[in-house]
């Protein structure tokens, strides 16, 4: 049967794929992968090819965005075709564009979900999911935007936490770090002065969510900015008002100084 199935690889490496995703891949006629919308630090193409017994073709950004995913669409017209993607599929807008294109060609689509940085970061932080406001991506310094600062301010005003994804250019192997992102936001604070991201503000840095040794560190920005988070991917959470259980989670799991969490409770 001709169809296109988006299968999530989850976080960190190919072992984040679900059993269902693995079974569907084994029985596919064509298998593709894209690795540019997110980073899987410990990914091994050889291993996923071995366990699925398939040759897997990597599609680059140009293959998908400039050529309308033509290879994928042509394969899916002929038989069961898989696109393996980092994280949970369809969170990246690129995947929605491919799904719309497939539907134009009358190709049925399915989604097999996996772990996403969104729920993983929230879980690792110990903060309550229903207290997060809008998520925002912080761009590289050469592409400045007021949106992150404005979003964090708006969320804080409502007492809500902000999950900040950090921009990546996987093909150039460039990844925005927690440290650089905090520097950007300290500068925004100097200009906008809304008491959002001052040197004393509490922030949580999360590195390599989904790996065996994720780092989750909470502190005042002035201290966090000096912390060595190691390799990407990095994310940051700016807490709004903390429930006392959230405060306890941050001191217990993220080394947050107690006086700082108390100030935010």
Interface residues with a copy of itself (CB under 8 A) are 8, 10-11, 13-20, 22-23, 51, 87-91, 93, 95-97, 99-100, 103, 110-111, 113-116, 118-120, 122-124, 126, 128-137, 154, 158, 160, 209-210, 212, 245, 248-249, 252-253
CA-only gyration radius of the chain, Å = 20
Q: Distance between CA atoms of 197 and 188, rounded to whole angstroms?
A: 8
DSSP designation for 23: H
User: In the complex with a copy of itself, which residue's Cβ is closer, 140 or 253?
Assistant: 253
- Least distance (Å) between residue 199 CB and a copy of itself: 27
Cβ–Cβ under 8 Å, residues 162 and 237: yes
- Least distance (Å) between residue 126 CB and a copy of itself: 5
Around Cβ 140, how many Cβ atoms within 10 Å? 17
User: In the complex with a copy of itself, which residue's Cβ is closer, 62 or 100?
Assistant: 100
Q: Which helix (H) or strand (E) segment is 125 a member of?
A: helix 117-125
User: In the complex with a copy of itself, which residue's Cβ is closer, 47 or 67?
Assistant: 47
Q: What's the Cα-to-Cα distance from 26 to each of 15, 50, 80, 92, 258, rounded to whole Å?
A: 15, 10, 11, 25, 50
Q: Which helix (H) or strand (E) segment is 24 a member of?
A: helix 19-26
User: In the complex with a copy of itself, which residue's Cβ is closer, 74 or 103?
Assistant: 103
User: In the complex with a copy of itself, which residue's Cβ is closer, 158 or 169?
Assistant: 158
- Least distance (Å) between residue 13 CB and a copy of itself: 8
Residues with Cβ within 8 Å of 191's Cβ and at least 6 positions away in sequence, in order, are none
User: In the complex with a copy of itself, which residue's Cβ is closer, 130 or 259?
Assistant: 130
Question: Integer distance in angstroms from the first to the last C-alpha of the chain?
Answer: 55
Residues with Cβ within 8 Å of 194's Cβ and at least 6 positions away in sequence, in order, are 149, 153
């Amino acid at each position: 049967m001709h169809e296109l199935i988006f299968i999530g690889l989850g976080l960190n490496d190919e072992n984040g794929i679900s059993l269902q995703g693995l079974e569907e891949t084994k029985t596919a006629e064509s298998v593709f992968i894209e690795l540019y919308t997110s980073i899987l630090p410990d990914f091994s193409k050889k291993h996923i090819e071995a366990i699925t017994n398939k040759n897997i073709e990597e599609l680059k950004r140009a293959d998908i965005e400039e050529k309308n995913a033509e290879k994928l669409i042509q394969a899916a017209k002929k038989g069961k075709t898989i696109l393996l993607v980092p994280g949970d599929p369809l969170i990246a807008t690129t995947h929605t564009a491919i799904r719309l294109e497939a539907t134009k060609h009358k190709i049925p689509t399915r989604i097999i979900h996996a772990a996403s940085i969104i729920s993983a970061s929230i879980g690792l932080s110990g903060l309550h999911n229903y207290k997060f406001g809008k998520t925002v991506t912080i761009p590289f310094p050469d592409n400045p935007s007021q949106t992150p600062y404005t979003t964090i301010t708006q969320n804080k005003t409502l007492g809500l936490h902000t999950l900040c994804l950090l921009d990546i250019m996987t093909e150039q192997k460039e990844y925005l770090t927690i440290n650089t992102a905090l520097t950007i936001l300290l500068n925004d604070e100097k200009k906008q002065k809304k008491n959002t991201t001052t040197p004393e503000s509490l922030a949580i840095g999360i590195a390599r969510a989904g790996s065996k040794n994720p780092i989750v560190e909470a502190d005042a920005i002035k201290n966090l900015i000096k912390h060595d988070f190691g390799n990407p991917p990095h994310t940051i959470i700016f807490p709004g008002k903390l429930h006392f259980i959230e405060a306890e989670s941050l001191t217990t799991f993220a080394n947050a100084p107690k006086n700082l969490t108390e100030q935010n409770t």
